[in-house]
Amino acid sequence: MVKAQSPRVESDPRFTRSRRAIADALAEYMQETETCPSVSALSEAAGIHRATFYNHFDSVEEAAVFVIADDFRAFHDENINERRLGADPATVALATLNAMLASLRQRKGLFFLASTWRSSSGLMGIGDLLLDRLRALRRDLGVDDEESGVNNAVEDVFAASGVLGVFSAAVGGNTDCDPDDIGVRLLALLPEWMRLPATETTD
């Protein structure tokens, strides 16, 4: 994941404002030009000093990961809320996959830029985000080691890598199936616990 800051730093409104300014400027820049800005150009567009950029991110690629991570967190929160309200888990899971894919298609340039960033997990940018979301989903649905077996880590990396592959092909236009069917086909390949209702969820 994107490098962490101390809770004290992250709670500082100035830190939050400058990080948000960088993310918004990058998203807008990539939407308009579909080219990767330099750190200097991005800092200028965000209205910050170049040194401030490096207080938040090590590279423009890492900043791109942060932008997409924000979207993914929002989709995750909506997924969990819908499940807690009693919505059908499979329907919610499919809606989440479709929302993620639609967002990535809309931010195609940003997606490919973020995909080049290698995180400490060993997965490339978006794969790392997907792995993080899978772990968060396990936690929020109360799916623990006893329920899923001892191979959670392997299963999560396998699932995250598979979803990344499908998303990459779909965003790049390299799939033969109907775009509306991609989410349905992908969901069928994912671990069963994502589609079944949990007996209880944590707050």
What pLDDT is recorded for position 3? 57
Does the residue 159 lie in any domain? Answer: yes
pLDDT > 90 fraction of the chain, expressed in percent and rounded: 48
pLDDT band at 202 (very low <50, low <70, confident <90, very high): very low
> Tell me: the pLDDT tens digits for 89-124?
999 999 999 999 999 999 999 999 998 888 777 778
Radius of gyration, alpha carbons of the chain:
18
Does the residue 73 lie in any domain? Answer: yes
> Tell me: the pLDDT tens digits for 52-63?
999 999 999 999
pTM of model > 0.85: no
**Residue 116 belongs to what domain range?**
59-194
Does the residue 202 lie in any domain? Answer: no
Cα Dmax for the chain? 51
* Total structural domains within the chain: 1
**What's the whole-number mean pLDDT along residues 26-49?**
91
Does the residue 79 lie in any domain? Answer: yes
Of the candidates 112, 156, 107, which has an alpha carbon nearest to the alpha carbon of residue 136? 156
CB 1 within 8 A of CB 73: no
Q: How many angstroms separate the CA atoms of 139 and 202, rounded?
A: 8
Does the residue 53 lie in any domain? Answer: no
pLDDT > 70 fraction of the chain, expressed in percent and rounded: 87
Q: How many angstroms separate the CA atoms of 184 and 95, rounded?
A: 10
Does the residue 128 lie in any domain? Answer: yes
What pLDDT is recorded for position 101? 93
